A and B are shown apart, each in its own frame.
Chain A
Amino acid sequence: MKKAAFCLVILLSISYLTSCTPLVHHSDRFYNYNDSDFPRNHFPLIDPVEATRERSSSPWELGLGNTIWIRIPNSNNAYYGYSGVAELEKFAVKEDVIMAYSSYVDKQADAYIQNNYYHWFVAIPDKNITEGFHTEDEFDHYIQTLGIQNPEWQIPDEAYKKFAQTGCLDWIPDCK
């Protein structure tokens, strides 16, 4: 009985220690798991763009870095600003280009904005480029001008799971 208990303790200790594998620490703190004191789940794409969510039951949001300003027609020079991608469904990172998709529509926005809402997004932080598109065809045409075809789409939940376990993602500079 004592021997069995001893073995159980050893097994539990080994499983505990292996579960505590330290996360990879990056020279650029933006890419670290604990980079922010603001309590949200997050994983980095390309500095300064990251995906965040309030808690595990909340949708993912992607901050775009730069706002896309859309002038509302027939208004007194009123604008709607896309500062992020709400309810992020999938994303891709190819070298310095971030691509994202969401079917979300902002129900608080002006009717024109709602009827012409952007669902596809491209951000190139190094070049200060942020673009939005209504359709997949428009999006595909644009990324082809960047030399990208058939992006490798990622699901935010899966990327976060990997990041939380390892501190690494394929596109993080010192994880390659």
Chain B
Amino acid sequence: MIESSPLYALAAVAVAVKVETAQPVGNNASNIWELMKLGVNQADHANITGEGLQSLKDDPSVQAAEGRIGAAIGENTSYGKQAFSIPGNYPTNDPKETGFTADGPSRNFAIGLLTQNPAFLMVHSANLYANNTTVSADGTISTTWKVVDDFDYLPEWNNDSRKGLNYWEYNIGATIADPIYYGLLGAKAQVPTTAEWNQTIPSQSGDEWWNDSCSRCE
């Protein structure tokens, strides 16, 4: 129904032009248009870089997840006493620790959308892991933060995991984007997406981790 309106057709053409003229370098996407172009090109995966990566690093919900994971690493009995390492991804199976919803600095869905926040548009809900972490004897943590997601605009009207306002916000947005991204542009259903950055975190006590993550998320 909405697809037949002139305004929608105009928006569809504008989006199509933006996507078609985007020029991702290899599998790297620094903004939403490059990421959509990779989807249209049927890319097997995408790396978020540049402006998109910076937006993720700056997002309060991502920083809160960093704080939670850092605090959990700080609970290791070797922390602050001797050097240790955590091979692979950590945490392994705790979405409450790893999960985040990037709505931008305001932490508000509508403002994230209206300001075209890159983290909001390119990732929104995903998981964060600390990859191949090393901790020195003095408690300094060196890690590669890794965001893992699947980029798509598939409406999920039958998925009851989205609740309340989030259910309507996501599904209305995806229903509007779906005919353009998949119908008009013929994009791949889901593109596995990652974003990575290194960080060295000075020694902190458990309370400092907690206070730091909470001051960022409020």
From B91, B156, B160, B162, contact of A67 by CB (8 A): B91
> Is B11 close to A, CB under 8 A?
no
- Contact, CB under 8 Å: A67 / B72: yes
- Which residues of chain A from 58 to 103 have a CB within 8 Å of any chain B CB? 61, 63-64, 66-67, 69, 72, 75-86
Q: A82 to B92, Cβ gap below 8 A?
A: yes
Which candidate, B21-29, B82-90, B181-189, B190-198, is the interface stretch facing chain A? Answer: B82-90
Residues from chain A with a CB closer than 8 A to the CB of B72 are 67, 81, 83
| Contact indicator A81/B92 (Cβ below 8 Å) | yes
Q: When the two chains form the complex, which single residue of B94, B101, B161, B166 contacts A64, counting CB atoms closer than 8 Å?
A: B94
Bound CA span A34–B160, Å: 11
Question: Do B159 and A55 have beta carbons less than 8 Å apart?
Answer: yes
The answer on a CB contact under 8 Å between A39 and B161 is yes
A56 touches B (CB below 8 Å): yes
Q: Does A25 contact B (CB under 8 A)?
A: no
In whole angstroms, what is the CA distance A86 to B91 when docked?
Answer: 11
The answer to whether A164 and B160 have CB atoms under 8 Å apart is yes
Most buried by A among B77, B95, B101: B95
Neighbour of A77 across the interface among B84, B162, B166, CB < 8 A: B84
Q: How far is the CB of B118 from chain A (nearest CB, A)?
A: 20
Q: Which residues of chain B are near A39, meaning CB under 8 Å?
A: 101, 125, 161-163, 166-167, 170
Give B72's nearest chain A residue, CB to CB. Answer: A67
How many chain B residues have a CB neighbour from A under 8 Å?
35
Chain A residues contacting B83 (CB-CB under 8 Å) are: 77
Q: Which residue of A has the minimal Cβ distance to B100?
A: A38
**Bound-complex Cα distance A38 to B100 (A):** 7
- Chain B's nearest CB lies how many Å from the CB of A34? 5
For B125, list chain A residues within 8 Å (CB): 38-39
Q: Tell me if B6 counts as interface (CB < 8 A to partner A).
A: no
B76 CB within 8 Å of chain A: yes
Q: Does A106 contact B (CB under 8 A)?
A: yes
Q: Is B78 an interface residue (CB 8 A)?
A: yes
The residues of B that contact A76 with a CB separation of less than 8 Å are 85
B82 proximity list for chain A (CB < 8 A): 77
* CB contact list, B51-96 vs A, under 8 A: 72, 75-78, 82-96
Asked whether, in the complex, the Cβ of A34 is within 8 Å of the Cβ of B88, the reply is no
- Look across to chain A and name the residue whose beta carbon is closest to the beta carbon of B91: A83
Q: A38-B125, A40-B99, A83-B72 are in contact. Are A55 and B91 (CB under 8 A)?
A: no
Known pairs A39-B163, A81-B72 / 9 extra A-B pairs, C-beta < 8 Å: A40-B95, A41-B161, A61-B95, A67-B72, A67-B76, A69-B75, A77-B82, A84-B93, A106-B93
Sampled A-B contacts (16; CB under 8 Å): A38-B101, A39-B125, A41-B161, A61-B95, A63-B96, A66-B75, A72-B87, A77-B85, A80-B87, A81-B92, A82-B92, A83-B94, A84-B91, A84-B97, A85-B93, A106-B93
Pick the 10 closest A-B CB pairs, nearest first.
Answer: A83-B91, A84-B94, A84-B93, A86-B93, A83-B94, A63-B96, A39-B162, A63-B94, A77-B84, A41-B161
